Chains A and B, each alone.
Chain A
Amino acid sequence: MNTGIILIGVAVILVLYLVGTYNAFVVLRTRIQEALSGIDVQLKRRTSLIPNLVETVKGYAKHEKEVFENVTKARSSLMGAGSLQEKAEANNQLAGALKSLFAVAEAYPELKANTNFQDLQRQLEDTEDKVAYSRQFYNSNVLEYNSKVQLFPGTIIANMFGFKAAEFFAANEEEKKDVKVSFS
């Protein structure tokens, strides 16, 4: 009689733990997906700003064909990127191409004085920050999820229902935010 009650009690606790952990995994996984789509929104915003920028710069610096080609190429590869890793790589490539575009723009004082260009530059810089911050949010969510999935005893339940560790969105070394000084 008594042992029966104890056994039922233990079973109830186990089931409650199972349900709780399972639900926590689902919540965390959904949050990761949401964070990922947050990154996508910013990447899309970035790609949509670029044609305008290229047109504006072209009006002043026709001869810098190579730079434009690099930017356009990086942009289309970012738009075509499917997996997380491809996206991260394409994003870094685009950041590099944009950097050289802005470096080129330095040599054209009229371009730099153009308000349209200034506005685009400001918006692109802001979008770059947004990409970095949405990535940071994504990665901190992945960190929380992964440590729950991989640590004992959660890992048993994770294996039972097929919760796998998620992938981090890697940042480029040179793109990492350290010192950001602008003299403009």
Chain B
Amino acid sequence: MTLYSQVSSNKWKSFFIFTLFIVLITGFFYLIGLYYGDGMGYLAIGLLVSLFSSFISYFYSDKIVLLSVRAHPADKEEYFDFYTVVENLAMADGLPMPKIYAIDDPAPNAFATGRDPSHAVVCATTGLLQLLNRTELEGVIAHELSHVKNYDMLVMTVVSVLVGTISLVADWIMRSMWWGGGRGRDNDREERGNPIFFVLLIIALILAPLAAMLIQLAISRKREYLADASGALLTRYPEGLARALEKIGGYPRSMRSATSSTAHLFISNPFKKNEKGSWFTGLFSTHPPIAERIKILRQL
């Protein structure tokens, strides 16, 4: 697959994800509406909500993601190596200079975000910048810039915001059902309480986050291998990234600021196994195993 077909496939994928999201949320609201006896009214609300959050996630997803991982802008003085490495590799790739952010977190990791190359953001943790030398950092940044160049970060960022929205909506529905269920009993309406709709609602409630997780899974694994390879093509030195991945993989603790809706953005899974509550993230692993990636890089 050439770069240009990757770019257009990523744009189509984003479009598809938006459509799926809108259909999913609208359908969801419709079901609730049926349960409360006002299908069309809820459908309209669902359509509005999903269109609005699609709009927001296209134009502001990078800012939302940066906020949610608590990143701050990195200047050239303090982060000389980070800044210049991004500058140099963007130059080599013919990309405009991305904005640069740092996260105060000892766990080494990095990601790229933004809707297109001229709105790109590259973000690294302070742990990564301390742990890696310049050559290894070049490997990581080249990997991130290839995500930027082939529009991976559009799909990935949009997904992370939409997944966040879905879980928010699911959460809200769950609550309103809890409270609304009690109140509704006095109103004595006929449609509500229909067991079929109730079952449908429950199914939807379980399926929506699951579907969202699966989207996340489907889009991110192959992407990492591809970005590894084109990053290595950019630095002409696959060993740099291989060594960086070794160091990142060897770090024993999870990131503090990552969530399951932003996990797939990072160069390496921010959650480590054998930690409390991680069985769930393990179940929906978004990243190919690091050992496998290093092996492939060393064969290049």
A interface with B by C-beta (< 8 Å): 31, 35, 38, 122, 126, 129-130, 133-134, 136-137, 141, 177-178, 180, 182
Residue B280 is within 8 A (CB to CB) of chain A in the complex: no
Number of chain B residues whose Cβ lies closer than 8 Å to a Cβ of chain A: 14
| Additional A-B contacts beyond A35-B94, A137-B93, A180-B135 (4; CB < 8 A) | A126-B80, A130-B88, A177-B236, A178-B237
Contact of A137 with B94 in the complex, beta carbons under 8 Å: yes
**Chain B window 224-240, contacts with chain A (Cβ cutoff 8 Å), 1 for yes, 0 for no:** 00000000000011000
Contact of B88 with A126 in the complex, beta carbons under 8 Å: yes
Residue pairs across A and B with Cβ atoms less than 8 A apart, 23 shown, are A35-B94, A38-B91, A122-B80, A126-B84, A126-B88, A129-B84, A130-B84, A130-B87, A133-B88, A133-B89, A133-B91, A133-B92, A134-B91, A134-B92, A136-B92, A136-B236, A137-B91, A137-B92, A137-B93, A137-B94, A141-B94, A180-B134, A180-B135
Inter-chain CA distance A126–B134, complex, in Å, is 11
Per the 8 Å Cβ criterion, residues 129-155 of B in contact with A are 133-135
Q: Which residue of A lies closest to B89 (CB)?
A: A133
Inter-chain CA distance A61–B92, complex, in Å, is 36
Inter-chain CA distance A137–B135, complex, in Å, is 19
Which residues of B are found within 8 Å of A177, using beta-carbon distances?
A: 236-237
Inter-chain CA distance A180–B135, complex, in Å, is 7
Q: Which residue of B lies closest to A41 (CB)?
A: B91
Give 7 closest A-B pairs by Cβ, nearest first.
A133-B92, A133-B88, A126-B84, A136-B92, A137-B92, A129-B88, A133-B91
Per the 8 Å Cβ criterion, residues 44-85 of B in contact with A are 80, 84
Inter-chain CA distance A38–B90, complex, in Å, is 12
Which residues of B are found within 8 Å of A180, using beta-carbon distances?
A: 134-135
Q: Which residue of A lies closest to B235 (CB)?
A: A177
Inter-chain CA distance A136–B237, complex, in Å, is 13
Instruction: State the majority secondary structure of interface residues on B.
Output: helix
Which residues of B are found within 8 Å of A38, using beta-carbon distances?
A: 91
**Chain B window 85-108, contacts with chain A (Cβ cutoff 8 Å), 1 for yes, 0 for no:** 001110111100000000000000
Which residues of B are found within 8 Å of A178, using beta-carbon distances?
A: 237
Q: Which residue of B lies closest to A126 (CB)?
A: B84
Which residues of B are found within 8 Å of A137, using beta-carbon distances?
A: 91-94
Q: B243 to chain A: closest CB distance in Å?
A: 12
Q: A179 to chain B: closest CB distance in Å?
A: 8
Among B80, B84, B93, max chain A CB count under 10 A is at: B84
Inter-chain CA distance A180–B84, complex, in Å, is 16
Which residues of B are found within 8 Å of A31, using beta-carbon distances?
A: 94
Inter-chain CA distance A31–B93, complex, in Å, is 13
Among B80, B92, B236, max chain A CB count under 10 A is at: B92
Inter-chain CA distance A42–B255, complex, in Å, is 38
Inter-chain CA distance A137–B236, complex, in Å, is 12
Q: A73 to chain B: closest CB distance in Å?
A: 28
Q: Which residue of B lies closest to A34 (CB)?
A: B94
Which residues of A are found within 8 Å of B135, using beta-carbon distances?
A: 180
Q: B88 to chain A: closest CB distance in Å?
A: 5
Which residues of B are found within 8 Å of A122, using beta-carbon distances?
A: 80
Which residues of A are found within 8 Å of B237, using beta-carbon distances?
A: 177-178
Q: A28 to chain B: closest CB distance in Å?
A: 12
Inter-chain CA distance A122–B84, complex, in Å, is 11
Q: B99 to chain A: closest CB distance in Å?
A: 19
Inter-chain CA distance A38–B92, complex, in Å, is 10
Q: A38 to chain B: closest CB distance in Å?
A: 7
Inter-chain CA distance A180–B235, complex, in Å, is 12
Which residues of B are found within 8 Å of A182, using beta-carbon distances?
A: 133-134
Q: B180 to chain A: closest CB distance in Å?
A: 60
Q: Which residue of B lies closest to A135 (CB)?
A: B92
Inter-chain CA distance A103–B84, complex, in Å, is 24
Which residues of B are found within 8 Å of A134, using beta-carbon distances?
A: 91-92
Which residues of A are found within 8 Å of B89, using beta-carbon distances?
A: 133
Which residues of A are found within 8 Å of B133, using beta-carbon distances?
A: 182
Q: B132 to chain A: closest CB distance in Å?
A: 13
Q: Which residue of A lies closest to B92 (CB)?
A: A133
Inter-chain CA distance A14–B184, complex, in Å, is 72
Among B88, B89, B93, max chain A CB count under 10 A is at: B88
